[in-house]
Amino acid sequence: MKEPHMVIPLMKQAADEPGTDEQGPLRCGAVWDDGAACAVEARRALHAFLAHVPCTGRTPVPAALAIDAELVVSELVTNAIRHAPGPCGMILRLSGDVLAITVWDTSSRQPVVMKRDGQRFGGHGMHVVHTVSSEVAVTPLGHGKQITAYLRPAPDGSPDAVTGAGPAA
């Protein structure tokens, strides 16, 4: 069995963009070799990123937003694994209170948002992504595409936040 290999170590990724202050964007990213991507590993990267946010002096990400982000990461990375040959990657970016999750892959095929169907097994992922995101953008690349989901906190201003505790996968 081929051992998974991530090109960029995740724990070294959660750092400020060069030249920004504590209110500037925070980002991290990971790239996986062909066949090495794993939704569990992507969720771990998300958890590490969200746990790092308060360490930079920023307000912690609300727990409800973190749960939605975990769903988005799981669905987008799983779709990349299932539907695109070759490497794929993920970029997490927090700017103000907006969390952008971008997953790129090598398939130029556009994702399809299928209507809910309780009788169908599978095929609900992009519906879930659109439901929990405030916006979803699909951008064609030279060889493949990238999908970016933008998540914003609920308007109720819930104080519940992610502090680094919680499940790792």
> Most confidently modeled of 97-101, 107-111, 127-131?
97-101
In tens, the pLDDT along 6-27 reads 444 344 444 444 444 456 899 9
**How many residues are listed for the chain in this entry?**
169
- Using the predicted structure, report yes or no on whether residue 124 has a pLDDT greater than 80: no
Residue 43: how many CB atoms within 10 A of its CB? 19
By mean pLDDT, which of 53-62, 63-72, 120-129 is the weakest? 120-129
Beta bridge partner(s), residue 16: 26
User: pTM above the 0.85 mark?
Assistant: no
Q: What is the pLDDT of residue 154?
A: 78
In tens, the pLDDT along 131-161 reads 999 999 999 998 899 999 999 987 765 544 4
Burial class (CB in 10 A: 0-12, 13-18, 19+), 130: middle
CA dist 124 and 85 (Å) reads 21
Beta bridge partner(s), residue 6: 32
In tens, the pLDDT along 18-58 reads 444 456 899 999 888 887 778 899 999 999 999 999 999 99
